[in-house]
Amino acid sequence: MATEEGIVTAVTSTTAWVKTNRSSGCKHCSSRHSCHPQNNQEAVVEVENPIHARVGDRILLNVKTASLLKASFLIYVFPILCMVAGAVLGQGAGVVAGLNPAWMSPVGAVIFFVGALFFMKSKGNRLARSAAYRPKIVRILAHAISS
């Protein structure tokens, strides 16, 4: 599991907003700019809060590695595979239909890529509602200092 430390900045009934410091692993991640950065070192994420952490608590959160890999495949590999399949099928359809395969190949690639984007949007919305794909607070490392 991928784990990260953070500080709770806001709490709702079942979730919390957590400010995390970017780790050294973030430097090499291709999605490092989409983590809602507040500055160069911090990111704010919404996480499940099953242990009822409060604002100011320093916490440990994690994401299941399998879920992270599946989501990464959907975002990075799936559209490319669809484009290649569309190009191959477009070229084959061009030959069968008597059209120029050099034109049908990119047309097929674009059609399949757009189809992949719609599929990804639909699947992404379903995955976002699934608890398996959300980060979760697993432990409170230090409670907030009360005044």
Question: Does 15 score more than 60 pLDDT?
Answer: yes
Which one-letter DSSP state was computed for residue 16? Answer: E
Task: Report the chain's mean pLDDT, rounded to a whole number.
Answer: 85
- Indicate whether 24 and 7 sit together in one domain: yes
Alpha-carbon span 99 to 86, nearest angstrom: 16
**What residues make up the domain containing 46?**
2-64+134-142
Question: Does 24 score more than 60 pLDDT?
Answer: no
- Indicate whether 49 and 101 sit together in one domain: no
Residue 147 counted as domain residue: no
Question: Does 36 score more than 60 pLDDT?
Answer: no
Per-residue model confidence (pLDDT) at position 28? 56
The values of phi and psi at residue 120, to 5°, are -60, -40
Question: How many structural domains is the chain composed of?
Answer: 2
